Structures are given as structure tokens and as C-alpha cells.
Amino acid sequence: MPSLTDERAALRRRLLGRPRTAQEKLWAWLGPAIVTVIGGFLRFWQLGRPHQLVFDETYYVKQGVSMLEYGVEMRWKGEGEKVDPSFTRGTLEVFKTTEGDMVVHPPVGKWIIAAGEWLFGPTSSYGWRFSVALLGTVSILMVGRIARRMFGSTLLGCIAAFLTAFEGHHFVHSRTGLLDLVVMFFGLAAFGALLLDRDASRAILARKVAEIPTGTRLQWGPWLGLRPWRWVAAVSIGLCAGTKWSGFYYLVVFGLLTVLWDMGAHRAAGVRNWLRAGLIKDAPQAAVTIVGGTLVTYVASFAGWFATDRGYDRQWAWTNPAPAGWGWVPGPLRSLWQYHKEILDFHNHLTSPHQYQSNPWAWLVQARPTSFFYETKTTGQEGCTVEKCSKAISSLGTISIWWVAAAGIVVLLWYWVGRRDWRAGAILAGYAGGYLPWFLIQHRTIYQFYSIAFQPFVVLTVVFVLGLVLGPKDASETRRHVGIVLVGAYCLATLMLFAFYWPIYTAQVIPYDHWRYRMWLPSWV
């Protein structure tokens, strides 16, 4: 008869897989960390160049300064094209200090940008971009660690970090003071936290089930505790939505994902009523944690708006009495609700044509990358040695990654539906939260650069496919060697493509013809 220890070990192996050795644990961290250092160096190198407000930095960089000075976003004196030159020269007297600005995105991302401005000064373009570059660098390690945990392979974890480090879309966003990489970071953090919760809860489940006497029929399964990593996920989703509303979609998708994971764990552990246990016992707790934590975090992100009387619509409730039956709602919350109604109205009616707008159907193949910055230079200007030169920043993803991922979604669907591979389902959940919602609002003006929100899941798709190319660990030596050669060649090609597009990722001055050489598709111009 097997001992309690043997039963516990067998159940743990069924739920969590083979235990890792100390050496495996070391390299699982060290490998992605080395790649992260390299990727971070590239992201911080000449980060302050160009010393100009790039693309939508015209909004968020100035709003970050306003957050530091006033706690809220204030209106500035004149349009961006009038204010920006003086701002970049160091003139900070660009705000109307008595008028809060009607901004269409919550404050978290702007507070993060403001942190870099506080560290290095509001006139430093390095400071404008520092915080986003830091989050971009940390996300390289996060993707590597997530891949290592999902696939159980240190090699695949290192490849995931490598592909993130040298993915052009991620690279450009990491070097630009915009909000979208912040959305990506907190969405990724929520996913990683739920992945940690999955493993932690399964370890607890294995321990508790193994302690139950042999032959006992499990009806509902044991209680798994307070689940601290779920709270971390909830706070992360709240910060994600507190940067852009699109982060709320992760609340729905990841909330369902963690409940489904619990059901699968209980079923694997032999719980008889695993479905009802998931719906009746586990789902309510998950809802309280995920939904409650997200909403509290989101409302708390408006602390600066609550603390001042200058924010947009801050005093609305005092001039608009509450309808009958709503008098119990505090005035500041009614004002915040009115503010949100105006933001929603703005988003619903944002239909003005733009030369870089793009349909989400085309995002995975990088059909219409957004030009963040472009200047024409002539002979003698900034080292231009020919008649006409280009200085550009284009948010173009590394096509070897995005095109493989576009085809890889079919592979994910097959392994999820056909083989019930939880890893494929988890990656698809990332697409469901960060990508699919944009298909619901195709009527409004949207852009391909929004795709950075689900870029980590694009990388994980490629890693999933590369894992299949490598083959299982028990495959023949020849099979493994062929797989390693193919994967190595793919990674080398990705690195070469990144190097090829480096000049238009970093605003290098190059001959115009060289810029055209890099515009492989007419829609890229």
C-alpha cells in the first residue's frame, strides 16, 4: 500500500508536473535575466533622443507634469503645435491653472510617466520616457518567467525573453512616453499573478487531498485559502483599467480563466462535484476578489482628482442635485460618474478619419504600422550626406514574430479544442482580453499600435509553436538536433530583422532610399 508521502507526491506530480532541481530553478531566473539586461540596455540607450514630443506624447508627457504640479490634468494654453515647442525648450508655464482638462483616459499611466519626470526633471526627454522604458524592460523578464512556468522549459523561457527583447513594436513603445505599454504591463502582471495562483492553489490542493483517508469520496474539495496572488491580479487589472478602459476586458476574461483553472484542478484531484464546486464555491470567492479588488483599485487611482477641487467635473454634483432615491451617493462619486459618462460619449463618437487608422483584422500581420515620428533632412542636417534623408520612428512589429503568431493561432485553437492543452487556452485568453474587444468597436477610429496590449501573448504563441518544433524531451537525438537548428535559425533571423529596422525604431538619420528599402508593403508608408 502506498504511503501518504507517495500519494501526495503522485498527486502533486499530476497537478504540477515534475519538481525542478536547484540548478533548473537557478537558470530559470538567470537565463531570462541576462536577456533582460541586454534588452534593457537597448531600450535606455539614447532614450532622450529625439528631444521632441513624439506622437501622442504631446498629451501624456504634459499631463504627467500637470499631475506633479496640480494632482490632476489641467488645460494648457493653446493647441499642441503652439505649446509643444516652448514646452520642449523648458517652458512649463503652459497650463491654465484654473481649468481642469477633460481627458479621456484614467490617471494611472500619467502618474507613471510623471514618476520619471519627477526623477529627472520635467524638461528631460529621458525623464519623459524613463518609467515606460523601465516597465518595458521588466516585462522582458516577466514574459520569460511566464513562459518558463507555462512550458516547463528554461530554453523556451529564454527564447520568450529573447523574442520580447527584439520585438520592434515592444521596443518602440518601451522608448515612448505613451499609455499603451503601461496597459500591456499590468495586463501581463495580472496574467502572471493568476499563473502563480494556479500553481500555488494546486500545491495546496495536492497537500490537502493527500491527507484525506484513502477511499474517501471527495464531494466538493477542500477550501484553498485566501489566494493572495488573486489579490495581486485584481490590483494589476485595476491599474490596467486605470490606465485605459480597455483593461476592463481582462477583468472578464481572466476572472473566468481562474475559475476554469480551479475546476480543472479539482477534477484532476478526483473531486466528484468539480463543476458545481467551481460554480458555487470557487466562483463567488473569485468574483469578490477579482471584481472587488479591481474596482477598488480603479476608483483609488482617482485619488488626485478627489483631493482637489480643480479636476474636470469635480464640482458637478454641487450644481446638479441627486435624482430621487440617489441622495445617499456621495457628491464626489456622482461627479466622477458624470465625468465617466462624458468620457464614454467621447469614445463612442470618435470617428474622425486618420491616415494611420487601421482595422483590427490587419493587426496581426502588421498591415498598417503607426508612424510615431518623421522628419525630412537635407544635406548637412544632422549628418545627412545625400540630397534627402529620413529621420523616423515607426511602430512596426518584427514581422518574423507577428506573422508566425498569426498562423500560430490556428495551432493554439487545435491544441486547446482538440487536445485540451491548458497552455493554448491560456494564451488564447490573452487574445480574448486584449485583442477581440476591438472588433466590437470597429466603427470608431482605432490604430494598430493598440496591439501592444496583447503583444506578450503574440510572443507566447510563437514560443508554443517553437516548442512543437523542438519536439518532446524524449524525442530521438536526431529529432531534437533538427528542432534546435530550426529554432536557432529562426531566432537569428528575428535578430537580423530587428537590426535591419533599428534605424527607424530609434530615429536615426538615414538616406531616404534606405528608409524606402524598409517599407516592404505600400501600406507601411
Q: At what angle do helices 180-210 and 108-120 cross, to 10 degrees?
A: 110
DSSP classification of residue 291:
I
For residue 399, tell me if it sits in a domain.
yes
Among the listed ranges 74-78, 80-84, 250-254, 312-316, which one has the minimum average pLDDT value? 80-84
Check pLDDT > 60 for residue 4. no
* Cα–Cα dist 265/274, whole Å: 9
For residue 343, tell me if it sits in a domain.
no
Check pLDDT > 60 for residue 227. yes
Check pLDDT > 90 for residue 186. yes
DSSP string, 54-101: -TTHHHHHHHHHHHHHHSS-EEESS-HHHHHHHHHTT----EEEEEE-
Q: Residue 472, preceding bond cis, omega within 30 degrees? A: no
pLDDT digits (tens, 9 = 90+) for 47-90: 999 999 999 999 999 999 999 999 999 988 876 677 888 888 88
Residue 248: count other Cβ atoms within 10 Å of its Cβ.
18
Average pLDDT over all residues of the chain: 91
Domain of residue 230 covers 4-45+124-301+351-524
Our count of domains for the chain comes to 1
For residue 467, tell me if it sits in a domain.
yes
Q: What percent of the chain has pLDDT over 90?
A: 70
For residue 103, tell me if it sits in a domain.
no
Predicted pLDDT at 2: 52
Check pLDDT > 50 for residue 1. no
For residue 358, tell me if it sits in a domain.
yes
For residue 190, tell me if it sits in a domain.
yes
In DSSP terms, 76 is beta-bridged to: 95
Predicted pLDDT at 256: 95
Cell digits of residue 347 = 469614445
φ/ψ region of 20 (left if φ > 0, alpha if ψ in -120 to 50, else beta) reads beta
The CA–CA distances, whole Å, from 18 to 150, 159, 200, 265, 319 equal 13, 21, 15, 16, 64
Predicted pLDDT at 217: 60
The DSSP H or E segment spanning 378 is: strand 370-378
Check pLDDT > 50 for residue 151. yes
* Cα–Cα dist 476/33, whole Å: 30
For residue 327, tell me if it sits in a domain.
no
For residue 394, tell me if it sits in a domain.
yes
